[in-house]
């Protein structure tokens, strides 16, 4: 790719995703995104053969830029501009009070779902046993039409069910800044069901060239426990095998452009799931709802930097050390979802990735990943070394039979992860890459030899034959 074109692309991403305040240095690292992973490794000293193909993602970026031909126009394009037809919005969801009693023992477990013009959504945490919840949660959205309306629906969380009790709703325009206290109304009778407080900060859009309703942060995560845990006494060392994570990512549309990964029509398991009138598909979708349900037991937080992200992978049962494990992941329109590949809830499911994606016909990307010490990998790591004294590298791949992701998009995946977690060391390798195979094998070997991880934990398994599976629960449970 011509240097001027590539620099324009790089600057475009930096400018349009500015809410994270990324530095020029960080974006210089994305130069590798214009080359294949083998090219990047060779620059670092690898002897892997160098390819000449340019990633599709940057051709997509180039098309979307509509780049001007003259120097004068290019300078005009790069200059900040303002739009009075659209705004950049920050919404702080503060609190609510006077909510109705929803549970038989009194109280409620309230949470809310917000949306703007049906184009972008936000779901809050669930607050346990309260009629006066305080959230103080923040949502940043860029390039929103001044005519946009925020709609909020408030619910009472019912643990273990597919659907929750409805409390009420309200709506408000967001073009003007200010603090508001708005009555929550019932769906049909319009009776008062409480009061909701929020604060809106609205400014003219600085980059109207970006897509409308662009999510701009914060990058927040939720950790969910499988509903099957409720009937089990789980050993501390197995807790993570019943957990899944969801992270709201910034810039997914910008890095992947118009490229999606369709389900693999040559993969038998995918054929059985996506066939017309498939009996399996609704069961997997129910299981997804149960697995990712908002509950008061979920863990939540904000991820600002690499250290925050790495912290999600510290094994509480093993002295908070980085667990040598393999993870299955899916990236959809706005979230990054993952769990250990050996998670117990995967038992009886033909496709792990379909469970994470809720049987989406297309995803942005999917595969597996694992952590390793940045220098030397697991083969050269010693147990007495303090994890905090080591730089860690995350290794992504495209190992997904359900979606068979195009390896040409691996550089875009790497750039997206680096952007959301500044300072993180990321490597993206094709599923057939020998380096990937060796690294994955070393990770598994270290876990079994030094951390007490059983080999069976790297694949879904039932420790107890009488253990209820998520597949069974999703097949029979209805509200």
d(CA 424, CA 118): 34
Cis peptide before 218 (omega within 30 of 0): yes
State the average pLDDT for the chain: 80
Angstrom distance (rounded) from CA 84 to CA 99: 37
Residue 477, token pair as written in the block: 């449970």
Question: Using CA atoms, how far apart are residues 343 and 324, in angstroms rounded to an integer?
Answer: 14
pLDDT by residue (tens digit) across 298-323?
889 999 889 999 999 988 777 889 99
Q: How confident is the model at residue 289 (pLDDT cuts 50, 70, 90)?
A: confident
* pLDDT digit string, tens, across residues 204-250: 999 898 889 999 999 999 998 876 655 444 455 566 667 899 999 99
Number of neighbouring beta carbons within 10 Å of residue 189: 8
pTM for the whole thing?
Answer: 0.78
Q: What average pLDDT does the segment 135-142 reach?
A: 96
For 161-187, how does the pLDDT look when each residue is reduced to its tens digit (9 = 90+)?
667 899 999 999 999 999 999 999 998
Quick check: 427 pLDDT over 70? yes
Please determine, for residue 423, whether its predicted confidence score (pLDDT) is greater than 90.
yes
**The two three-digit tokens of residue 227, written as one number:** 């509903």
Measured in whole angstroms, how far is the alpha carbon of residue 140 from the centre of its chain?
A: 16
Helix-then-strand count for the chain, H and E: 13, 21
Residues pairing with 204 in the sheet: 87
Judged against a pLDDT cut of 90, whether residue 123 lies above it is answered with yes
Query: How confident is the model over 470-475, as a mean pLDDT?
Result: 59
Please tell me the least confidently modeled range out of 69-83, 121-135, 263-277: 69-83
Q: Which tokens sit at 51?
A: 């390819």
- The predicted pLDDT at position 102 comes to 86
Condensed to tens digits (0 to 9), the pLDDT of residues 314-367 reads: 887 778 899 999 999 999 999 999 998 876 656 667 789 999 999 999 999 999
């Amino acid at each position: 790719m011509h240097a001027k074109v590539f620099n324009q692309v790089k600057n475009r991403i930096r400018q349009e995703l500015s809410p994270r305040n990324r530095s020029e240095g960080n974006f210089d690292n994305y130069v590798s995104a214009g080359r294949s992973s083998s090219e990047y490794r060779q620059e670092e000293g690898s002897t892997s053969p160098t390819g000449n193909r340019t990633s599709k993602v940057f051709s997509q970026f180039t098309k979307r830029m509509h780049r001007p031909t003259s120097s004068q126009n290019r300078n005009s394009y790069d200059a900040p501009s303002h739009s009075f037809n659209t705004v950049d919005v920050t919404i702080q969801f503060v609190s609510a009070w006077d909510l109705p009693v929803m549970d038989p023992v009194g109280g409620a477990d309230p949470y809310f779902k917000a949306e703007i013009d049906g184009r972008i959504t936000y779901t809050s945490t669930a607050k346990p046993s309260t009629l006066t919840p305080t959230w103080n949660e923040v949502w940043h959205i860029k390039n929103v039409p001044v005519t946009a309306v925020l709609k909020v629906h408030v619910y009472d969380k019912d643990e273990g069910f597919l659907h929750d009790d409805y409390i009420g709703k309200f709506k408000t325009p967001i073009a003007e800044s200010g603090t508001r206290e708005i009555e929550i109304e019932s769906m049909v009778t319009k009776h008062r069901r409480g009061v909701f407080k929020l604060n809106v900060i609205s400014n003219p859009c600085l980059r109207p060239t970006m897509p409308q309703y662009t999510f701009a942060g914060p990058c927040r995560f939720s950790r969910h426990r499988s509903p099957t845990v409720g009937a089990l006494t789980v050993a501390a060392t197995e807790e993570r095998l019943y957990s899944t994570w969801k992270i709201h990512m910034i810039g997914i549309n910008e890095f992947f452009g118009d490229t999606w990964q369709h389900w693999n029509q040559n993969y038998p398991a995918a054929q059985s799931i996506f066939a017309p009138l498939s009996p399996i598909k609704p069961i997997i979708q129910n299981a997804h709802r149960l697995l990712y349900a908002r509950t008061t037991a979920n863990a939540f937080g904000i991820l600002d930097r690499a250290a925050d992200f790495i912290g999600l992978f510290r094994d509480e049962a093993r002295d908070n050390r980085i667990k040598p494990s393999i993870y299955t992941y899916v990236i959809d329109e706005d979230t990054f979802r993952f769990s250990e590949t050996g998670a117990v809830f995967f038992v009886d499911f033909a496709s792990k990735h379909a469970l994470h994606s809720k049987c989406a016909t297309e995803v942005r990307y999917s595969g597996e990943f694992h952590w390793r010490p940045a220098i030397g990998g697991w083969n050269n790591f010693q147990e007495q070394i303090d994890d905090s004294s080591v730089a860690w590298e995350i290794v992504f791949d495209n190992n997904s039979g359900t979606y068979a992701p195009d390896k040409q998009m691996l550089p875009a995946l790497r750039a997206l992860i680096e952007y959301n977690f500044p300072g993180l060391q990321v490597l993206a390798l094709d599923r057939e890459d020998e380096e990937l195979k060796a690294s994955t094998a070393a990770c598994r070997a270290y876990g079994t030899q030094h951390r007490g991880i059983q080999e069976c934990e790297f694949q879904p398994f039932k420790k107890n034959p009488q253990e209820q599976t998520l597949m069974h629960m999703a097949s029979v449970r209805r509200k």
